[in-house]
Each structure stands twice: as structure tokens, then as C-alpha cells.
Amino acid sequence: MKNDNRFTRSVNTMKKLHAQKYNEAQYISDSNHHQMRDTDRSFTIGGLRAEDLVKEFGTPLYVYDAGKISAQYNRLHTALPEGSVIKYAVKALTGISVLRFIHSLGAGADVVSIQELKIALHAGFTPSQIMFTPNNVDFGEIQEAVSLGAEVTVDNLSSLEKFGIAFGGSHPVAIRLNPHIMAGGNLKISTGHSHSKFGISIQQQQQILAVVNKYGIDVSGLHIHTGSEITDIQVFIRVAEILLEIATYFPTLRFVDFGGGFKVAYKPGDKTTDIEALGKMLGETVDNFNKKTGKQLEIRVEPGKFLVSEAGYLITTTTVVKETPAVTFIGVNSGLNHLIRPMMYDAWHEIENISNPDGPLKQYTIAGNICETDNFGSDRMLNEVREGDLIVIRNAGAYGYTMASQYNSRLRPAEVMVYEGRAHLIRRRDTLEDLLNGQILIDL
């Protein structure tokens, strides 16, 4: 597991992983939920024992399985119609090594800040492969994105007007619409309803057309993203109908972008998005439109969680087992500063004691070490937990490290990627110097 320079090889060499058929046999599937244990009952990630990873890199530790990311990309790529474009939603997991790997699979990038755009460039994406889809940003960011050569999406009439004044028809732009559709697993991540801040309302279509015609704007695409964790594929078909109905008004249109929001399994039996059925139905819907109109609209999607969520694990160490008259707590050396989703979204993450897989089941509440309530899971049945046991939190690849903080002046964990049977440190653990970096001590 030596950390060497193999992971930083050229993108062309890395593409061989995509060309090879991923060995799904290493996963024992249960409704898309993967138990990952080898013959001696050790918990493995990408074929490597979690205990060995901890010995080398310590805890808390984020670990990502590159093979699982590749398998998810291949599945989506196969399901979508030929010629479709996959733009990875960079905000889900932003590390440059992860981005370089996803780029090597053939994906483009969807970014939401000028910093994400520059990080994507640093990771190897070309400007033309990057779509900048910001919200409520200063127009200067949009101008900078154009100067860097990226594609741009605007989601409000003010920015559309400014874009027309600044660029006219000299640079293409996509328009994000709000379809007034409620969808997604949590109100905080539902982005297409009538009270959402995202997108220009479809009821403002005439105002959009007035601005476009006034400045001769080259509208290259129409975009809708309704939310996250969508299981009903009819939501996407309704979005397609809305986009294609409006598409007839934009003669320069080249693509329709359906965003992301594909649901992955968080626990056994979870309903997930039927990617294969979705790809077939979207393909038929857009193809029928193209035949009727003579257009050749390209299909785009922007998966984030779908590609990286199941590939990620947060490994923690039990520091305290605390019994009270009401509940037994497992205290671990992590908290909402490392994985905020359970507290912010009431998100469910499967939690497992990998140090005692055959111990009797007992009920626990798994709590972090932050100075406020930060439970990872309440009233969970785990194999008996002892101080020092390793506790793994699954589905931590998306919106885990990217939403991590230094709250309570605690250090952010290291990140490791397992690639072709080797563990690679892709981000070191924070140090005290990182906490102090940027601060200025003044004389009083």
C-alpha cells in the first residue's frame, strides 16, 4: 500500500481502467448495497483490508474505491443514448486526484464556483469540457468563466441581460429553468419547485425570449435540475417534455441538460433510480423530438452522488462506550465537522463495527466528538462495540469531505483512494498549522 507516484501517471494511461470490464464479483450485492468482506471476515475496500489502511493512515479516514466510481460511470454511460454527455457535479467530491480519475473515464465537469472551475482545469479538464452553473454570483465570476473558455449557464434574468450586454451572440450560454416541480428526498435538496431560488421560472418564458432577441444571444442549451435522490423517472420525462416544448423557441439550441439527482441505495431494500429505464425513455423522447423538428439536440446529465457516494467510506475509531439509563452511546473520533449530512439532512448512512463482525447485536446511538449534538445514527443495531473498535460509515463519498469544516478547531481527516489494488494518499490530514494558516496576530 505504499504511497507512490503511480496514481499521478498520465490520463491516457489511466484510461485503461475504463477500458477494462470492472470485476463486479468482488462485491456481493444486496439491492445495490455492497457487503465487502473477504474470506477471513475482514472488511475490505477495493480489495484492501480496512484495518491495514488504518494502520498506515490512521483515523478518522476517508477512503474512496476508484473501481466503484468506474463501475457507476460505466453503468450510466451504457444506459444513456449514444452521444450523450456526462458532466460530473464537482461539488460532490472535489479532490483533484478524484477529478483526474473521473476525467480519465470520459466525463466532463459541472462546476458551481469560479474556484471549482479552476480546480477542474488543474485536474486536467479542458475549458470546453467544463460547464459553469453558478447561483447568485457576482457577474464578474461569469465574465471570468467566459474568459477561461468554459461553457456557462445563467439562472436569472438579471444575469441573462448582463450576459447579452457583455457578449451579445459572441459566446454561447445555457439557461437554467425552474419547472415548478417538487422532487427529491429532502426539501433542502429539492431545487425545481416554485419557491426555489434556482432557475428562471417557466412562467417567465416571454421575458427570457425578449432578452435573448434584444441582444441576439446564442442560447446553446436549456437546463433543469429538480433535486436529489429522485426515484420516479417520470419526473425526468416531465422535465424533458417541458424542455422540448420550450426548445422550439431557440433556433441555436444544441443540448438539453437534465441535471442529476439519481438515487443510490443507502440501506438494503432502498428504492433507487432505474438508470437503464431512464436512459431508454429519455433517448426515445429526445429522438422523437429531433425527428419531428430536424434538430440534433444532445442529452446531458450532471451526476455527482451517483458516481461517488457508494465509493466512499469514513472510518472512525470508538473512543467511548457510554451507557445511560435511556441509551448506549458509541463515541467516535469524528463528528459533523467531517460528515454533516446526518445532522443537516437527516440523511441515513449505514454504520458497521468492522472490528467485531461476529459479536452479538446491540442497540447504539453513534455520536461524534463535537460540542453539540452530532449523531451519525440513532438506535442502530451493531455488533457489540468496544472502545478501540473501528466503525465504518458508508456512502460517504458524496458531500462528505467537501462539506467538512474545522469546527471546534478539530482537524479534517486524510483522504485515500484505492486504485488498482493500491492505496494512495490524495490529501493529508490537517495540522495545527492549517488551523492557523491565514490568521494574523495583531499587537494590542
CATH number of residue 426's parent domain: 2.40.37.10
Model confidence at 185: pLDDT above 80 = no
To the nearest 10 degrees (0 to 180), the angle between helices 114-123 and 96-105 is 70
Q: Which residues of 288-305 are buried (b: 16+ CB within 10 A; e: fewer)?
A: ebeeeeebebbbbbbbbb
CA–CA separation, 46 and 1 (whole Å): 12
Say if residue 54 is in the same domain as residue 148. Answer: no
Please count the structural domains in the chain: 2
Domain membership flag for residue 74: no
Domain boundary among 305, 336, 354: 305
Which entry of 371, 388, 406, 421 is annotated as an active-site residue? 371
Say if residue 287 is in the same domain as residue 167. Answer: yes
Q: Rg of the chain's alpha carbons, rounded to an integer?
A: 23
Model confidence at 82: pLDDT above 80 = yes
What would the mean pLDDT of 239-251 be, rounded to a whole number?
91
Q: Sign (positive/negative) of CA torsion 268, 228, 64, 431? A: negative
pTM: 0.89
Domain boundary among 280, 305, 330: 305
pLDDT tens track for 260-307: 889 999 988 889 999 999 999 999 999 999 999 999 999 999 999 999
pLDDT tens track for 35-79: 466 656 799 999 999 999 999 999 999 999 999 999 999 999 999
Say if residue 25 is in the same domain as residue 91. Answer: no
CA–CA separation, 164 and 169 (whole Å): 7
Whether 371 is a known active-site residue: answer yes
Say if residue 212 is in the same domain as residue 359. Answer: no
Domain membership flag for residue 279: yes
Say if residue 90 is in the same domain as residue 16. Answer: no
Q: Where in the sequence is the domain holding 14, given as residue range(s)?
A: 6-65+311-436
Say if residue 181 is in the same domain as residue 90. Answer: yes
Say if residue 173 is in the same domain as residue 268. Answer: yes
Say if residue 290 is in the same domain as residue 150. Answer: yes
Say if residue 236 is in the same domain as residue 327. Answer: no
Side chain identity at residue 113, one-letter code: S
Domain boundary among 247, 278, 305: 305
**Cross-strand bridge partners of residue 417:** 64, 424
**DSSP strand E in 324-411: where?**
328-332, 351-353, 361-367, 375-383, 390-393
